[in-house]
Amino acid sequence: MVARLFVTVMVVLAVGLLVCGVLGAVGSAGAAPSSAEGQSESGPPPVPAAVVTASPAVGAADVPPDAVPSVAVDHGRIADVSLVGSDGAAVPGTVSADGHRWTATGALAYDDTYTWSGHASAEAGGAVPIAGAFTTVTPDETTGAHVNIGDGDTVGVGAPIIVQFDHHVADKAAAERAMQVRTSVPTVGSWAWLDDDNGGSRAHWRPQNYWRPGTQVDVTVHQLGVDDGDGVWGRTDVTSQFTIGRSQIVRADVNSHQMVVITNGQESMNFPASYGLGSDPNRNTTNGIHVVMEKNQTVLMSNPKYHYENVPEHWAVRIENNGEFIHANPDTTGDQGSENVTHGCVNLSTDNAEQYFDTAIYGDPVEVTNSPIPLTPADGDISDWTVPWDQWVGMSALRA
């Protein structure tokens, strides 16, 4: 972060007649006699000169645009003040009730010059000008940030918050310090940084345990004016407000040949199912806590290694980016409840798949157990719940 410059600008009333008048008044009082001579004390001291303090200081350079400009006046009051960018647009601001301080309420921009104008009325009389300029930093590049959960969404109790950056974030600690998660009930959680093959960076936030249903969540990703390192600065701030919905957890024991759905602590569905063929490690349904990512009524599925391409499958709920879904498959209906024959997905009958599909939302946990092949980060974007909590906390840039 470019250091901010805070320099006190002393503006003393220097109008010739006014200065002479003050000096004349002092001079006319003469030297104060000593009490030993029995002479009276002198009159009240002169009113101090007005002092104007600007922040950022006049002449400051490379000011980050998240700085909050202000002007303060001692021994005087602000009469009028404006801060204007090079495009002529004024930065909005407010004056304190006592008239001693003006504070900006709007953001600055990158690569711009801002000019002060106005004046303060001094207690000693007269006007003190408020003038000068400062410039903001010019980044080599800027990066956008995106939150995966939108305003007003309702998500499941296993939903991670994912912040995707357009560029690689070199100073992850600076970026993480500028991100905040607030919850309506106390919730222990942590950010963790995950590798991103597309050249950007990803930060995930999840609670230590599943979210409490009904929790209100407020996410702020402050980026405007944040130096993310290597000449890349944040482009704009991003926020999201959403709600944790009911608790719905899928329990998928591959040896049971059943898929059980627990809603708000009670069994709501129990369907015959077929999981990945156990004799082929490449077809096993992976073990661990998956998360519902999205759902579509029809998905075209392909696996050239197993000689099928663009096969339409219906009532498909994605639980990982490695190609695992919970979906209808009439071709395996005879095996559902007795054998595992799939290519890694959880197969249900059409009616059962549609019934489950209608209830699934992003963030619902899908707990797959008794499979010999574990879910890993290599399988897709959301393997957060497979990471032990102590290890997860260590993936924070502020705790590593």
Which DSSP string corresponds to 141-200?
EEE-EEESS-TT-EE-TTPPEEEEESS--S-HHHHHHTEEEEESS---EEEEEE--TTSS
Active-site positions read 327, 345
How much is the pTM? 0.83
pLDDT at 380: 74
Contact call for residues 195 and 253 (beta carbons, < 8 A): no
Contact call for residues 198 and 381 (beta carbons, < 8 A): no
Task: Choose the final residue of a domain: 171, 198, 229.
Answer: 229
Q: Give residue 197's pLDDT band: very low, low, confident or very high (50, 70, 90).
A: low
Query: Residue 334: inside a domain, yes or no?
Result: yes
Contact call for residues 77 and 121 (beta carbons, < 8 A): yes
- Cis peptide, bond prior to residue 56, ω within 30 of zero: yes
CATH code for position 279: 2.40.440.10
Does one domain contain both 86 and 207?
no
Q: Give residue 23's pLDDT band: very low, low, confident or very high (50, 70, 90).
A: very low
Q: Amino acid identity, residue 74? A: D
CATH code for position 218: 2.60.40.3710
The pLDDT of 200-224, averaged and rounded, is 97
Task: Choose the final residue of a domain: 229, 256, 280.
Answer: 229
For 55-73, the pLDDT digits (tens) are 999 999 999 999 999 999 9
CATH code for position 21: 2.60.40.3780
Does one domain contain both 253 and 371?
yes
Query: Residue 41: inside a domain, yes or no?
Result: no
Does one domain contain both 381 and 255?
yes
Query: Residue 335: inside a domain, yes or no?
Result: yes
pLDDT at 26 exceeding the cut of 90? no
For 79-101, the pLDDT digits (tens) are 999 999 999 999 999 999 999 99
Q: How many CB atoms lie within 10 A of CB 189?
A: 17
Query: Residue 39: inside a domain, yes or no?
Result: no
pLDDT at 399: 87
The H-or-E segment that residue 390 falls in is helix 389-394
Query: Residue 400: inside a domain, yes or no?
Result: no
Does one domain contain both 186 and 125?
no
Q: Is the dihedral of CA 365, 369, 373, 374 positive or negative?
A: positive
What percent of the chain is predicted at pLDDT more than 90?
82
pLDDT at 379: 79
Residue 139 C-beta-side C-alpha neighbours within 13 Å: 21
What is the DSSP annotation of 329-372? -GGGTTTTTT---BSSSEEE-HHHHHHHHTT--TT-EEEEES-S
Does one domain contain both 271 and 357?
yes
Does one domain contain both 294 and 371?
yes
pLDDT at 47 exceeding the cut of 90? no
Q: 229 in helix, strand or coil?
A: coil
Does one domain contain both 283 and 355?
yes
Does one domain contain both 380 and 269?
yes
Indicate left, alpha or beta for 229 from its phi (over 0: left) and psi (-120 to 50: alpha): left
Domain extent for 63: 16-28+47-135
pLDDT at 43: 73
Instruction: Report d(CA 217, CA 244) in Å as an integer.
Output: 8
Contact call for residues 57 and 116 (beta carbons, < 8 A): no
Instruction: Report d(CA 24, CA 27) in Å as an integer.
Output: 5
Instruction: Report d(CA 346, CA 366) in Å as an integer.
Output: 11
Query: Residue 110: inside a domain, yes or no?
Result: yes
As for how many domains the chain has, the answer is: 3
Return the DSSP state at 124. T
Least confident stretch, 133-137, 255-259, 274-278, 302-306: 302-306
pLDDT at 15: 29
Does one domain contain both 267 and 380?
yes
Task: Choose the final residue of a domain: 195, 229, 263.
Answer: 229
Instruction: Report d(CA 384, CA 372) in Å as an integer.
Output: 19
Instruction: Report d(CA 110, CA 121) in Å as an integer.
Output: 32
What percent of the chain is predicted at pLDDT more than 70?
88
pLDDT at 322 exceeding the cut of 60? yes
pLDDT at 400: 60
Instruction: Report d(CA 18, CA 25) in Å as an integer.
Output: 11
Instruction: Report d(CA 385, CA 387) in Å as an integer.
Output: 5
From residue 379, give the alpha-carbon distance in Å to each of 67, 206, 373. Answer: 42, 19, 11
pLDDT at 195: 73
Q: CA-based diameter of the chain, in Å?
A: 119
Does one domain contain both 118 and 156?
no
